[in-house]
Amino acid sequence: MKLARSIAIIALLVSTAAVTACGGNTEAPSSSPSAGKDELLNSGMPIVKSPITLKVFSGKPPQVSSDWNGLMLWKEYEKMTGIHIDWSLVPSENLDERRNIILAGGDYPDIFYASTIPYGDLVKYGEAGVFVPLNELIEKHAPNFKKLMERYPDIKKAITSEDGNIYSLPGIFDPEFVSVRSGQKLWFKQEWLDQLGLKTPESLEELYQYLKKVKETDLNKNGKQDEIPIMFRGVSHVIPQLLGAWGLGNRGNLHPYVDVDPKTNELRFIPADPGYKEMLQFINRLYKEGIFDKDMFTMTNEQFVVKAGEGNVGSFLGIGAAAFNGTGYTGSGALKGPTGIKMYNSVLPSVILPGAFAVTSKNKYPEASLRWIDYFYGDEGNLMYFMGFEGVTYKKGASGEYEFTDEIVKNPKGLNLNQAIGQYLVWPGTNYPGIVMQKTFKGTEGRPEVLEAAEKFRPDLIKEAWPGFNFTKDELEQLNVSVDIGTYVAEMTTKFASGEASFDAWDNYVDTIRKMGLDKYMKAYKSAYERYNKVK
């Protein structure tokens, strides 16, 4: 079923990051870094003494122009740097397939940009000499990125492989930009709260009481019982919002199955914990009472937008109401659980795209390449990348904040926000290297009401959100069992939540997970976790 597959896929992407067999020609091509050094200027702009060209492979989302050399961002940056980019663009839906073919075939570009290279491939092709170790290059030629690593040590921990090398620069969420790290939030229709004489729910019990009253009250005054208490897109969206009420998921969303048990300080498999059972019993209670509609378990994003846009929804899970042109919704903080636990765990780590920028051994200008990308990790480059150019795509507001111009927000050609931005810049939908900061990011997560909502749960935010771990080949082999475990957990999560499976079968469910190789799974996880903690 769709829900089971989605939960399993999430766990697999995070936990196993499968290593692709190299195949083809994996011998490292020869390169001449000394030639690149001769052309390099060590500071300021341009980056090189005379123009050079770099061949760059990149994914391209549909909302961005197909002519990247014609985009203002890259045209102006080429003038600044003296570096021309020969772009090889692949539609996002074909990115993985095309990237894997290139890596297996040996016909590498100089740079893989925004290509979502998995951990396993970074290690595999790094050890094979295809990807250039960036440690020394960062030290000498990437002052902006180096400064970020010094300020936020978790960045280095997230991108350092088991051999001590860094093979790629990442996409980063500014750790202080809580709104973008938290993604989906729980929102309530303020008008209906007021009609019912209720405040924004602060506990699971208050949530239940509100949802129940929405279901039973004709709040839209149409004489029908058609109010929708809550909307979401699958149990996989609900679970991260509820886990914290039972003290689970205390290392963030990127590791949906594993966290640390505060009682023992040992790793814990979340879906086998008694608290996970209690959480599913809570979901099942709402499902049995008709508060959670069965359609919510398999709802697509398109269906969500249409249904939520009708204005008949008492609460929803999402980044913000702007997704369906909604207004009048109030975000909530962390919800207190049945034993008084109040913890907001539904957040991502600062490093979310570890394989965003890799230099290959065919690149004759690795030093210049690092200087080229490092600009976007600094304040000036960050402003140019996300906001564009003053007077064209952005202006300064009365209080000095950056705002998009009418060309972007009221596009004369009728383009939506992302499409309009995509005529000048490349970030919408792109898995870019760089850092997302509140002052320059004006997507949904940067809207005032979304920022306000994030501040409500900041006091209860978990202290640490793990990035993805760099698993070794041996660990990945041990983690092969996660495919079956993930599928089984997803199927049973749905069955328990919907009542298809009785909670009397819980012990058998946990025992089945153990028999499927849970000990081996947790051993590999522990090994990677201990290595992660040793990186300084």
Distance CA 355, CA 431 (A): 9
Query: Cα angle vertex 284, ends 279, 285, to 5°?
Result: 100
Does residue 321 share a domain with residue 202?
yes
Query: pLDDT per residue over 53-76, tens digit each?
Result: 999 999 999 989 999 999 999 999
**215: helix, coil or strand?**
helix
What's the CATH number where 277 sits? 3.40.190.10
> In the predicted model, is pLDDT for residue 11 greater than 50?
no
Return the pLDDT at 280: 97
Of the candidate ranges 89-98, 291-300, 359-368, the one whose mean pLDDT is the lowest: 291-300
- Structural domain contains residue 523: no
Out of 428, 460, 492, a domain closes at 460
- Structural domain contains residue 210: yes
Does residue 213 share a domain with residue 131?
no
Does residue 345 share a domain with residue 223?
yes
> In the predicted model, is pLDDT for residue 460 greater than 60?
yes
Distance CA 130, CA 88 (A): 18
Q: How many CA atoms lie within 13 A of 307 on its CB side?
A: 21
Instruction: Find the mean pLDDT for residues 127-155.
Output: 96
Does residue 137 share a domain with residue 91?
yes
- Structural domain contains residue 130: yes
Residue 43: burial class (beta carbons within 10 Å; 0-12, 13-18, 19+): exposed
> Would you state the structure tokens that stand for residue 183, as one six-digit string?
């993604």
Distance CA 299, CA 317 (A): 12
Does residue 174 share a domain with residue 40?
yes
Number of domains within the chain: 2
Give the closest residue to 468 by CA, choosing from 356, 377, 350, 343: 350
Does residue 298 share a domain with residue 248?
yes
**Distance from chain centroid for Cα 528:** 21
Residue 278: burial class (beta carbons within 10 Å; 0-12, 13-18, 19+): middle
Does residue 293 share a domain with residue 188?
yes
Does residue 116 share a domain with residue 135?
yes
Let me know: does 164 contact 470? Beta carbons within 8 Å.
Answer: no
Does residue 310 share a domain with residue 201?
yes
Return the pLDDT at 33: 47
Query: For residue 361, what are the contacts with CB-CB under 8 A and spacing of at least 6?
Result: 28, 29, 30, 31, 108, 129, 130, 131, 132
Instruction: Find the mean pLDDT for residues 100-123.
Output: 94
Does residue 210 share a domain with residue 258?
yes
The gap between the terminal CA atoms of the chain, to the nearest Å, is 43
> In the predicted model, is pLDDT for residue 448 greater than 80?
yes
Let me know: does 296 contact 231? Beta carbons within 8 Å.
Answer: yes
Amino acid of residue 414: G
Query: pLDDT per residue over 203-223, tens digit each?
Result: 999 999 999 999 999 999 999
> In the predicted model, is pLDDT for residue 202 greater than 50?
yes
> In the predicted model, is pLDDT for residue 462 greater than 80?
yes
Range(s) of the domain holding residue 262: 181-349+449-460
Give the closest residue to 231 by CA, choosing from 295, 289, 181, 288: 295
Let me know: does 53 contact 362? Beta carbons within 8 Å.
Answer: no
Of the candidate ranges 93-97, 114-118, 291-295, 329-333, the one whose mean pLDDT is the lowest: 291-295
Distance CA 130, CA 361 (A): 5
- Structural domain contains residue 260: yes
Return the pLDDT at 34: 44
Residue linked to tokens 């000499």? 129
Amino acid of residue 531: R
The mean pLDDT value of the chain amounts to 90
Let me know: does 383 contact 214? Beta carbons within 8 Å.
Answer: no
Distance CA 371, CA 428 (A): 23
Return the pLDDT at 59: 95
For residue 142, what is the DSSP state? -
Return the pLDDT at 28: 41
Continuous H helices in 1-94: 2-15, 33-39, 72-81
Higher pLDDT, 309 or 49: 49
Band (pLDDT 50/70/90 cuts) for residue 178 is very high
- Structural domain contains residue 292: yes
Give me the phi and psi of 359, to 5 degrees please: -100, 130
> In the predicted model, is pLDDT for residue 285 greater than 90?
yes
Let me know: does 219 contact 256? Beta carbons within 8 Å.
Answer: no
Using CA atoms, how far residue 209 sits from 199, 292, 315, in Å, is: 11, 13, 13
- Structural domain contains residue 23: no
Distance CA 133, CA 151 (A): 22
Length reported for the chain: 536
Q: What is the CA radius of gyration of the chain?
A: 24
Let me know: does 421 contact 427? Beta carbons within 8 Å.
Answer: yes
pLDDT > 90 fraction of the chain, expressed in percent and rounded: 73
Does residue 236 share a domain with residue 146?
no
Give the closest residue to 75 by CA, choosing from 388, 379, 293: 388
Return the pLDDT at 35: 60
- Structural domain contains residue 242: yes
> Would you state the structure tokens that stand for residue 208, as one six-digit string?
């239940």
DSSP 227-286: -BS-B-SSHHHHHHHHGGGGT--TT-TT-SSEEEETTTTEEEEGGGSHHHHHHHHHHHHH
Distance CA 299, CA 319 (A): 16
Instruction: Find the mean pLDDT for residues 139-167.
Output: 95
**357: helix, coil or strand?**
strand
- Structural domain contains residue 467: no
Return the pLDDT at 236: 82
Does residue 144 share a domain with residue 234?
no
Return the pLDDT at 323: 75
Band (pLDDT 50/70/90 cuts) for residue 4 is very low
Give the closest residue to 171 by CA, choosing from 304, 327, 352, 40: 352
> Would you state the structure tokens that stand for residue 298, as one six-digit string?
């398999």
> Would you state the structure tokens that stand for residue 151, as one six-digit string?
């300020």
